[in-house]
Amino acid sequence: MSKKQQIPNTQLSGRNIYTDKKKRVIYYDWLTKQGYLVEKKFEGPVLFYQNRVVIILFIAILCAGTFLTWQQATLAGIALLAVVEIYYRRKLFRSLEVVTDVDFGRRLTPLQSIVERKTKEKVIALIVLWAAFAILFPLNAYMEQYSLPLMIFSVGLSIVGIYFCVLHIIALTRMK
């Protein structure tokens, strides 16, 4: 059996994503200490939730750079994070089936997902895009003369871009 057949066809991967022996995708929530079966129709909301902090940081930085002060943007970001968290815990978790037998030995890692599901051309394009992001985001903050807190956020997001760039470079070296 090839490696592509060993993992389920999903866009999810990461710290909290596992598979069971039936090749079902399981999201493990460390707060509730429960596993949740993620069907195809719920992959989008779960993927958004996994990336919620980065997405909300983008929104807060853009708001602070355009029409809000950094204090207002921070408060708006915290409020938005609270709303997203409440929605996720109250609405989405209740829609997912609880799984009691989570196999923690079979985690779907982002590196594994990239190597097995993306073409070399797509990975090279993502390397270039993440590198450009890592350079341009703090450069924009500098050119627009953002305040120190926003500059720190921008550098933090740049570090995230560098991480994903390196992750894709490693994946490219492991591709056949």
The per-residue DSSP string of 45-98 comes to HHHHHHTHHHHHHHHHHHHHHHTS-HHHHHHHHHHHHHHHHHHIIIIIHHHSEE
**All residues at 6 or more sequence positions from 92 whose CB lies less than 8 Å from its CB, including other chains:** 42, 45, 46, 49
User: How high is the pLDDT of residue 126?
Assistant: 93
User: How high is the pLDDT of residue 128?
Assistant: 96
From first to last of its 176 residues, the chain has per-residue pLDDT tens of 344 445 566 767 777 787 777 777 888 887 878 888 888 888 888 888 878 887 888 888 788 878 888 788 889 889 999 998 888 888 888 888 888 776 665 777 778 778 877 889 999 999 999 999 999 989 988 998 888 877 888 898 899 999 999 999 999 999 87
What is each CA distance from 39 to 5, 15, 128, in whole angstroms? 18, 18, 32
Q: pTM for this structure?
A: 0.64
Contact status, residue 13 vs residue 113, Cβ threshold 8 Å: yes
User: How high is the pLDDT of residue 28?
Assistant: 82
User: How high is the pLDDT of residue 5?
Assistant: 44
Rounded to 5°, angle at Cα 42 from 59 and 76 = 20
β-strands 34-37, 97-99 pairing: antiparallel
Contact status, residue 108 vs residue 10, Cβ threshold 8 Å: yes
